[in-house]
Structure 1
């Protein structure tokens, strides 16, 4: 549409100030005659743009001219400025940078009220008592590239070695980044701060279904939310057994394992107390349940029953 092309021309001139007509034509994939007509239309609409002849000539926008070409309302600009946080990792910094560039396109008269959002509204992405680490920027950027390219990726998750995953996308929840991806044909959540390395494959992603990111995330989130008997069990175990434990109990968890403030302790969100006891008893004295008290007591009861049975 011509209106879109006029807007694109104006954006190019606001970014560069002066451009040769052939360069504008090349970028917009039109003829130089079309560019000349568009410049005339912009000038007739009151935009101070004109053509200069000669070797150094071109299409020129009067220095200092700015118009609000973003189409954003004041409320939308305030929301972007509040959400953009330079401390929120690479993507947060990109959002903050984009918001500042949009603000530069806003007329001077509108800016004071919008900028006030930086002083009066703060969006804190992290939850209370957060114990996880921030994701590595290089890891997050590599995952973002794989998602954008819709490619299969290889990830080294915690101490489990390398795994091949087919990404649905990335989700930020309460300041924690998750990769939603299929592993061995089953959609799963991977905490990005637990991913140590990412390897590109160049192979298209092959997910087990045609759900998009929002649908896959909703299913995984609902599975966590709809487990009324779910219980978080704190267990102590040697570091060299942690990876094996997490692999064995994975099918009975409603969320990813979490590190605890206490060294050598991990928090496991089981579907139900019985599921926790049934699987943890198999580790014998190699795993100690610390709490909750009801699970610890149930472990003792079941262990006593086994002793009575086998003597």
Structure 2
């Protein structure tokens, strides 16, 4: 709608003071001619907007014409711009509304707070979707102050880090892009020797901000590097098929935890085939059969956490692994011999 576009032009000019007509046209996805007509309409409505000719020219707004949001501290302004990732808003059909809202808020912020708010929006990202097969953390990251300082001051970070795969401790000098909260777990997204890398902040043994400026790859922003790293993990195939029967009383909890591991139906199956399979594999009353996919046997061993409320029916290798772990655990709690 034109009224929304006129407001967007005014707010963009409040933020930047002056922009080329072509830049405004690109941002609002209209022609330069349309922008010029809108500028005339704003001027006729009393908005002090004018054109500046020449190579450095463009559309400008008279300095001082703005509305301040009073009472906001710098930290409050920064908090407004620590936002959910773009896909979360797109899923709700709010992508365009988000962009419009941010322009309005940014234009209305007091001028001293705008740089911090803009930096926070580019350096901190929230992604609420859980990794495939990975439950959320039992506790938050121990300390984020050094990570925040590094990403918000564009400094390098020296990190002593304990890796989950082999428990080894290594030291890295990193060029941070920003922080990402993934289903309640905070991650540092950074370059190490010019290559993108991901670090869980709760595995850091120490983190020190260096005096050296971060040396990021040209043209790369946090969202770009995060998308690359996220795809590397999400696109790993999960070849291990696991069949579990789950007690109905805990089925909702089970499905909530293992939703990322649910096996998609074979696209080659017809509805008739799917119905026949369900009839042949029904379990006893009070239990529901669930098909899952895991990347490795060790990942599927997490099913033991449900105890007698979830029984793995297949594969046999997993049943044997769970039986061994259950027996070893039970042995720890056998009565101790009398002294």
TM range (shorter): 0.3 to 0.5
Q: TM-score, length-normalised on structure 1?
A: 0.36
Higher relative contact order (CA 8 A, sep 6+): 2
> Normalising by the residue count of structure 2, what TM-score does the alignment of the two structures yield?
0.34
